[in-house]
Amino acid sequence: MSEKTPKSDGGVTQESIFGTDEEAERRRTPPAERARRAFDFYVATPFRVAWSDWRTRIGGAGVLFYLLMGTVGVVLVPPPQINEGPYYLKPFVDWSMPLGTDNLGQGIFKALVHSTPAMMKMALAGIVFSVGVAVLVGMIAGYKGGVIDTILMTMADVFITLPGLPLIIVLAAIFSPKEPFIVGTIIAIDQWPGLARMLRSQVLALRDEDFVEAARSIGLSTPTIVGQELVPKVAPFVLISAAGAAVAVIFQSVALYFIGVLPFSSLNWGVMMQLAYRQGNAVAAPGRAGHWLLFPLLAISGVSFSLILFSQGLDRVFNPRLLARHSETVPEDEQEDAGGL
């Protein structure tokens, strides 16, 4: 409803005399009501949409479970202690040690719970680093184009080419990091280039849209356009990739702890697996120490399953509309099905 648009007969519209309905409504709405509506629009509605998909529901519940385990669980469950039970106790035998014990008689369940915060810190550091750099590089490259695009994408290509895991192994061997945040950042080093490239191609599709062109023609600065017009459009994608980055960081950190590249001072799932492998000989003789190895394995598979389900669900929730807006090849009635089960 633009006020200044003249009608074809040269007159002006009714609204331009008395103000648009929208403005009148805004004047009448108290701030509390406006806040409630904003909450409904930005928080409650996406949540409702997300809840309607079974994948988001199960995945979200799983993610929540792990988050609680890492925050509340640490407070509720006492830390594991040496000789609190017999050595190599089988799981589900003694209910004070529900998952059995390791070679020093420490409860495996307690160790699992107290490993969660370290894993969460690593995943968080990984997400912040990789998604942050990817958003910065991808959005600027895609939007600015030209020389900047070439430079940034060449940079991304160099980092794609640097073999990820070998680089991480070398860095880990040089720095010997113990702090979970640093470990997470190092591991996320090979995550951002791919993400930046994908973001760039999304921005490429968006930058020629009408609303961006309008913003440009009224002389908004690049940071404003990128921040206010483009970021909200790619936010769902960023959220989904954040879940992907978390999975990747957890996978790789556990792998590196397991093969013994990273030094450790505190417990985490990878360390537990390594100890079970080295000291318990759990791979060759799973009869005795198998459970020591198995439960961390299950914990990792569980967290990645939840995160993947969650992001799949989000993808389904957000994508059809994004697709519908940008796709010309897909007929209307197929779009709903595109991301479906």
Partner 1 sequence: MNYYIRRFAQAIVTFVVGMFITFALYRLVPGGPVEQIMQDRIQRMQDRGQQVDTRQVAEMAEQLTGINPDQPIPISFYEWLRDIVLYQDFGESILFQDPVFDILFRAMPWSIFLSVYGLLLGFTATIAVGVFMAWHEGTKIDSGLTVFVLVMRSIPYYVAAIVMLSVLAFQWGIFPTGGRAPPAAQPGFNLEFMTGIARHAALPIASNFIVGFAGGAIGMRALSVRVIGADYLRSARLRGLSTNRILSRYLTRNSILPIYTGFMLGIAGMFSSNVITEVIFQYHGVGWFLLEAAVNQDYPLVMAAFVFFSGITVTAIMVADFTYGLIDPRAGTGATRESF
Q: Is 272 in the site for partner 1 (CB under 8 A)?
A: no
Span 186-205, contacts to partner 1 by CB under 8 A? 190, 194, 204
Question: Which structure tokens are listed for 149?
Answer: 């695009």
Candidates 61, 151, 214, 338: give the one binding partner 1 (CB under 8 A): 338
Q: Taking contact as CB under 8 A, which single stretch among the options 12-20, 88-96, 229-237, 327-335 is the one that binds partner 1?
A: 327-335
Cβ nearer to partner 1, comparing 16 with 103: 103
Question: Which structure tokens are listed for 179?
Answer: 């702090």
Cβ nearer to partner 1, comparing 15 with 149: 149
Residue in the structure block whose two tokens are 């073999």 = 163
Question: Which structure tokens are listed for 225?
Answer: 């356009």
Q: Got the DSSP string for 248-269?
A: HHHHHHHHHHHHT-S--SS--H
Span 202-261, contacts to partner 1 by CB under 8 A? 204, 207, 216, 222, 247, 251, 254-255, 258-261
Residue 249's nearest CA partner among 122, 161, 129 is 122
Residue in the structure block whose two tokens are 């792990």 = 66
Q: Taking contact as CB under 8 A, which single stretch among the options 2-10, 25-33, 132-140, 172-180 is the one that binds partner 1?
A: 172-180
x/- letters, 92..131, toward partner 1 (CB under 8 A): ----------------------------------------
Q: Is 334 in the site for partner 1 (CB under 8 A)?
A: yes
Question: Which structure tokens are listed for 251?
Answer: 């996978």
- Nearest distance in Å: CB 152, partner 1: 13
Total of residues contacting partner 1 (CB under 8 A): 69
Name, in order, each residue with C-beta under 8 angstroms of 331's C-beta and a sequence gap of 6 or more. Answer: none
Cβ nearer to partner 1, comparing 116 with 306: 306
Residue in the structure block whose two tokens are 């940079």 = 155
Cβ nearer to partner 1, comparing 85 with 312: 312
Question: Which structure tokens are listed for 167?
Answer: 């680089």
Q: Taking contact as CB under 8 A, which single stretch among the options 66-74, 83-91, 122-130, 147-155 is the one that binds partner 1?
A: 147-155
Query: How is the chain split among helix, strand and coil, in percent rounded to 5?
Result: 75, 0, 25
Residue 275's nearest CA partner among 80, 125, 127 is 80
3-class DSSP state for residue 6?
Answer: strand
Candidates 78, 86, 166, 227: give the one binding partner 1 (CB under 8 A): 166
Candidates 105, 145, 177, 236: give the one binding partner 1 (CB under 8 A): 145
- Nearest distance in Å: CB 26, partner 1: 33
Q: How far apart are CA 32 and CA 35, in angstroms?
A: 5
Cβ nearer to partner 1, comparing 149 with 209: 149
Please give the sequence-ordered ranges of beta strands (E in DSSP) within the chain, or none if there are none: none
CB 304 within 8 A of CB 127: no
CB 60 within 8 A of CB 303: no
Q: How far apart are CA 277 and CA 264, in angstroms?
A: 15
Candidates 41, 42, 175, 211: give the one binding partner 1 (CB under 8 A): 175
Cβ nearer to partner 1, comparing 55 with 121: 55
Q: Is 170 in the site for partner 1 (CB under 8 A)?
A: yes
Q: 162 in the Ramachandran plot: left (φ > 0), alpha (ψ -120 to 50) or beta?
A: beta
- Nearest distance in Å: CB 289, partner 1: 11
3-class DSSP state for residue 329?
Answer: coil
- Nearest distance in Å: CB 238, partner 1: 18
Q: Which residue ranges make up the site for partner 1 (CB under 8 A)? A: 143-149, 154, 157-167, 169-175, 190, 194, 204, 207, 216, 222, 247, 251, 254-255, 258-261, 273, 277, 282-286, 290, 293, 297, 300-302, 304-305, 307-309, 312, 329-331, 333-334, 337-341
